[in-house]
Amino acid sequence: MTAPIQPRSSGAQRYWNPYVAGFGLGLTLLLSFVALGVGLGASGASARVAASAAHTLAPRSVEANRYLGPWFEGGSPLASYLVFMSLGTLVGGWISARFAGRVLVEIERGPRSSARLRLALAVLGGLLVGFASRMAGGCTSGQALTGSALLLGGSWAFLVAVFAGGFLVAPLVRKEWQA
């Protein structure tokens, strides 16, 4: 067994201890519970941006859609705390990466993967994750992290299923990641 993965570029700082980062993440989730009354979320913003973009192309069709329609009843689907939380996540990630010298424009992949294979699988994975997040009512943030901390039965089932799905498919995409 080899050591944990660290940034490859020489100027970049090492990642923090996972327990320290996990503790900080847990306190952030607790702050979200206490201040906002809701946990963390990420997939909601992407669905709302998608709905908003689709609405500019086909407003009637989107408003008539049973899933997306209700988001337009109170105005724009972008007028949601979820969108602003994700905006914050983007900026917070950038601040952290910038100060640690970890901003690097690249197509990150394993040593045997071409850039084309990596991008194709990133798109395929994104399609699946976008679809599955709507089906499950949240992603690793809104269900696995938040729901598990709230001790919700369905969220723990989701968490277990995510790891099961990941381990089942991992051998099929080994070339993308591993030597």
Q: Which of residues 130-159 bind another protein (CB under 8 A)?
A: 130-145, 147-159
- Tracing tokens 């992407």 back to the chain, one arrives at 46
The binding track of 85-124 with respect to another protein, each residue x by CB under 8 A or -, is xxxxxxxxxxxxx--x-xxxxxxxxx-------xx-xxxx
Q: How far apart are CA 143 and CA 147, in angstroms?
A: 5
Q: Which of residues 43-62 bind another protein (CB under 8 A)?
A: 43, 45-47, 49-51, 53-54
- Tracing tokens 């699946």 back to the chain, one arrives at 128
* Residue 175 contacts another protein per CB under 8 A: no
- What is the number of alpha carbons within 13 Å of residue 143 lying toward its C-beta? 21
Residue 91 corresponds to which amino acid?
Answer: V
The binding track of 15-34 with respect to another protein, each residue x by CB under 8 A or -, is xxxxxxxxxxxxxxxxxxxx
Report the nearest approach of another protein to the CB of residue 57 (Å): 11
Contact residue for another protein among 7, 63, 72, 175 (CB under 8 A): 7
* Residue 64 contacts another protein per CB under 8 A: no
Report the nearest approach of another protein to the CB of residue 34 (Å): 5
As a whole number of Å, the CA-based R_g of the chain is 19
Contact 145, 29 (CB under 8 A): yes
* Residue 77 contacts another protein per CB under 8 A: no
Contact 83, 51 (CB under 8 A): no
